Chains A and B, each alone.
Chain A
Amino acid sequence: MKRINAIVISLVLAALSASAVAQNATRESVNSASSPAPVETLIQNATVLTASHGTIQNGSVLIRDGKIAAVGKNIKPRDANARVIDATGKYVIPGIIDCHSHTAVEGNVNEGTLSVTAMVRIRDVLNPYDVDIYRQLAGGVTTVNILHGSANAIGGQNAVVKLKQGKAVDQWLIPDAPQGIKFALGENPKQSNFQVPGRPRRYPATRMGVEETIRESFIRAKEYQHEWEEFQSKKDPNAVPPRRDLLLEALVEVLQGKRFIHSHCYRDDEILMLLNLGDELGFHVQTLQHVLEGYKVANEIAAHKTGASTFADSWAYKLEAYDAIPYNTALMTQRGVVVSVNSDSDERARRLYLDAAKGIKYGGMTEEEALRTITLNPAKQLGIDHRTGSIDVGKDADLVIFSQHPFSVYTVPEMTFIEGEIYFDRKADIERRESLKKEKQELIKREREQRTGPPSRRDDKKDEPALRPSEEGEGDGGGVR
């Protein structure tokens, strides 16, 4: 969570989304489902940026059964009917992985009524009809880590999904992705930049209180864990089991190493606080999110084997972002931290490939290091690098074809594959536009003809579609959550 995380804003978004439900029918026709994959697909004559083992000039990627079957030069499909895509002059990279997203969340991303809400789950509120899904696919994004907002010191449980638009949302979840949970430190959980009208201030209101909130929660979780262990060790059929507590259960999973902490943070002191608290209480911090002052304590982050997922160059939107520098990505990488570049916004997610290039400009990362910040590194951070994040045989065929080098401002993502299926095809998108325009006019016409209200109010502006309140927006809707 970046900007103001006010509950008041979330409430507005929740209210707005209610009106969006009615529009789902239109969305489905606009965003047609992916095309079914043939047995084999060969992408050939491309510059293949593998993210794991360098660049292959004039290379090919063979896709079979949704997996990468071969990568290299002079590759031939086994099947005579294989789909062959000539990518001469084009670039292929692994599907982009966004390690910090709030996309497709129906309604509020914050259960902001309490400071600790480890029991709530993103997977319960995914909206597969969110129009931004397609827009992100068009930016080459294939996998996202959907997190709660940063209103709470301990937020809820994340969902790591592939953007399989058109498929049932259950199929979006990566089945073997480790579960995670959102934590948050600093200005947002202490609610220093906003107040919810009519509500008293909430504990914690300082960074000290944030630390105590997390500490207390884990102490309770340990006691809960102990109760269960004691009960299970008794093996007494007449013993009464402890009462289940879904909040503490999630934290016990953290203590057991089964659930990853993804913690929102900014300042060096709070970063160290969480790492040290983890040492003391026995939990590991999988990723630090935003971590804009990570460069100041990169040694400590690296020593804890904690990943860092940051913005390429955002700064100065609040006090704790004032020491943010665009060299953060490179500096942390140089100190041995696994670094990813994330969006925190549906809008920014569409151009992560350019944000990744900034690591080269600011701090001199190599091309492959920079590419890894949006592919292999977030895959490692999310524990899914065994199946995605690089172009290697046996991994899921999550791929993007770019018109030019993905780090050039002049590049355009042209095709996006998830597990071998095409979810975005720019050529087809452009071809579809005229017929969609016609369809819209038809629908408006039909709506007008069927409308039974007093005609005078409608007839004066014949050339205009009826205004939908959520449509004529000034904002992008993506950056405020």
Chain B
Amino acid sequence: MRIKVYGVAAVFIAGVFLAVSHFSVSAQSRTETYAIRNARIVTVTGAVIENGTVVISAGKITAVGAGVAVPSGARIIDASGMSVYPGMIDSGTEIGLTEIGSVAGSVDTGEIGENNANIHVDVAIHPDSSHVAVTRVNGITTALTAPRGGEISGQSALINLDGWTPREMVLKSRVAMHINWPGAQGRGFEFAFAQQQRSVTEVRREQDRRIEALKKIFNDAKAYADAKDARAKDPSLPKQDMDLKLDALVPVVRGQIPIVVNVNTERDIKRVIQFTDELKLKLIIAGGVEAYKVADQLKAKNIPVLVGPLYRMPNNEDDPYDSAYANAGMLFKAGVKIAFQTSSSAESRDLPYQAGMASAFGLPKEEALKAVTIYPAEIFGVADKIGSIEVGKVANLIVTDGDPLEIRTQIKHLFINGHEVPLSSRHTELYERFKARP
């Protein structure tokens, strides 16, 4: 039953996305044909095939099954004793936007100003960033890269972690509008400093003021969108001044692009839900450390949660010690759709281990795997392209010697866009070089 509900939701979300987004078609020519044979195939959406073949051609999965013929000329990979999984998806990263945290010149994660609705990350992804290869060699083939600054941070992109140009990497751009919820705690140490001078009431009043300001922006965008529509119907109406920020919010207030809101406390999550209900926006929660406390409401309203990073403490001193780990399992039990995010670039390679840890604390293993494969694909409206091993999907695959969520498992082969990508990175190169030091 639960699967069915998800399915319906996914089709709905996917439909909405398809209506508004532009998929980029890879400019690379992918002429290679591969046949991965004798493999245990974990399709994620269908049954596990104990001994089968996956055929990849021109960037796509063209055949999957036990009795599949190997096309002539295919490069054959004997995967005896190995397993094939779909490449994993990190639902929230900064990959391509940052290189070295402390070096300002290498960091492009957050723009100045509170409203940057019009910026979009797809123009600033650095394809040759060392983080790209470091992440993918651990089996993560796709990442949502999101901007971080201000309150309305801008628009994210789903990128495949291989390509010569940003355009080759981008699977889908303008995936969502990202928002940092103006929480009672505020953001950063500057605010923490200021907060010490003020009473709880003052802090809350400030939060209310900021939420009202945010609401006004969305209402302005609605009015802007209405005016735009009206003029489209009636060109005799006066010409409307272009406002790039409001213009970028039109698909958001029309419910065509979701908002991803970074929010963690129970109180703030409730306020975000109220806020988006009132403005009729499509909501995805990100972070959501206390989302389990609001699980029923999230389920009732079909709001997905991008859980993570798991590597954090509980919000409150009296929360159970394991609440940050157990959150995902409790959300699953309540029927909330989840995916995992690391919220990082350097730590994105730990995505499978974070999902695995959530499983240790209550999320069924299969669900943990889905939450790094098919669920994010569904949440971001690309389930027809990635997230499982099915004919017609983009060939983002990993061949492993075991469960990809386990730390000790090694990735043996990696395919992105149907191309076999070498398992090297800045880290393996330094390793090889210094291992050879006399």
Contacts and interface: CB of A to CB of B under 8 A. Distances in A.
A409 B407 contact: yes
A138 B357 contact: no
B218 interface: no
B321 interface: yes
Contacts of A16: 192, 196
B406 interface: yes
B356 A409 contact: yes
Contacts of A477: 313
Given A469-B185, A474-B187, 7 more contacts: A135-B314, A295-B434, A316-B345, A326-B427, A429-B320, A472-B315, A478-B313
A478 B321 CA distance: 14
Q: From DSSP, what is the main secondary structure of chain A's interface residues?
A: loop
A361 B408 contact: yes
Interface stretch (A58-66, A253-261, A343-351, A384-392): A343-351
B191 to A, nearest CB: 10
A409 B204 CA distance: 40
Contact of B201 (A314, A440, A457): A457
B184 A135 contact: no
A193 B347 CA distance: 21
Nearest to A296: B434
B267 interface: yes
Contacts of B103: 318-319
Contacts of A314: 346-347
B185 A322 contact: no
Q: Nearest 5 CB-CB pairs, A to B?
A: A409-B356, A318-B102, A476-B313, A317-B101, A327-B431
Nearest to A268: B434
Contact of B361 (A8, A131, A132, A412): A412
Interface in B232-279: 264-265, 267-268
B264 A467 contact: no
Interface of A: 3-4, 8-9, 12, 15-16, 23, 26-27, 30, 131-132, 134-135, 138, 187, 193, 295-296, 299, 313-319, 321-323, 325-327, 331, 346-348, 351, 354, 357-358, 360-363, 403, 407-412, 429, 433, 436, 440, 457, 464, 466-469, 471-478
B22 interface: no
Most chain A Cβ neighbours within 10 Å, of B268, B349, B360:
B360
B102 A317 contact: yes
A132 B204 contact: no
Nearest to A3: B101
B346 A347 contact: no
17 contacts: A12-B193, A15-B196, A30-B318, A135-B314, A316-B101, A316-B130, A322-B100, A327-B427, A331-B431, A331-B434, A346-B313, A351-B311, A361-B407, A409-B405, A429-B320, A457-B201, A475-B312
A471 B430 contact: no
Given A363-B431, A436-B318, A476-B312, A354 B357 contact: yes
B431 A469 contact: no
Contacts of B350: 313
A302 B207 CA distance: 55
Contacts of A475: 312
A23 B101 contact: no
B29 interface: no
A354 B346 contact: no
B102 A187 contact: yes
Interface string B397-438: 000000001111110000000000000001100110011010
Given A316-B346, A322-B100, A411 B315 contact: no
A210 to B, nearest CB: 17
Most chain B Cβ neighbours within 10 Å, of A4, A23, A348, A471:
A471
Nearest to A11: B193
A409 B351 CA distance: 12
A32 to B, nearest CB: 13
Contacts of A347: 311-313
A409 B192 contact: no
B359 interface: yes
A316 B407 contact: no
Nearest to B429: A325
A452 B69 CA distance: 80
B279 to A, nearest CB: 22
A101 to B, nearest CB: 15
Interface residues of B, number: 62
Nearest to B181: A474
B51 interface: no
B97 to A, nearest CB: 12
B162 interface: no
Interface of B: 99-103, 130-131, 183-185, 187, 189, 192-193, 195-196, 200-201, 203-204, 264-265, 267-268, 287, 311-318, 320-322, 345-347, 349-350, 352-353, 356-357, 359-361, 365, 405-410, 426-427, 430-431, 434-435, 437
Contacts of B409: 361
A184 to B, nearest CB: 16
A409 B430 contact: no
A83 B189 CA distance: 49
Nearest to A18: B196
A362 B432 CA distance: 12
A360 B192 contact: no
Nearest to B262: A474
Contacts of B185: 469, 472-474
A457 B204 CA distance: 12
A316 B318 contact: no
Most chain B Cβ neighbours within 10 Å, of A322, A409, A433:
A409
A275 B99 CA distance: 31
A409 B346 contact: no
A190 to B, nearest CB: 13
A412 B360 contact: yes
Contacts of B407: 354, 357-358, 360-361, 407, 409
B289 to A, nearest CB: 9
B424 to A, nearest CB: 12
A347 B78 CA distance: 42
Contacts of A27: 317
A394 B409 CA distance: 36
A321 B430 CA distance: 13
A177 to B, nearest CB: 27
Contacts of B431: 295, 325, 327, 331, 362-363
A464 B427 contact: no
Given A354-B353, A409-B356, A472-B184, A319 B193 contact: no
A409 B101 contact: no
A290 B335 CA distance: 42
Nearest to A9: B189
B317 A23 contact: yes
A316 B100 contact: yes
Given A326-B427, A363-B431, A464-B267, A410 B346 contact: no
A75 to B, nearest CB: 29
Most chain A Cβ neighbours within 10 Å, of B264, B287, B435:
B435
A315 B316 contact: no
Contacts of B267: 464, 467, 472
A429 B187 CA distance: 32
Contacts of B356: 409-410
A362 B427 CA distance: 10
A408 B100 contact: no
A411 B365 CA distance: 12
Most chain A Cβ neighbours within 10 Å, of B204, B318, B359:
B318
Contacts of A138: 321-322
Given A131-B317, A347-B311, A361 B410 contact: yes
Contacts of B189: 8-9, 12
Contacts of B406: 408-410
Contacts of B192: 12, 16
A475 B189 CA distance: 10
Nearest to B101: A317
B195 A469 contact: yes
Contacts of A30: 317-318
Nearest to B268: A472
Contacts of B435: 327, 331
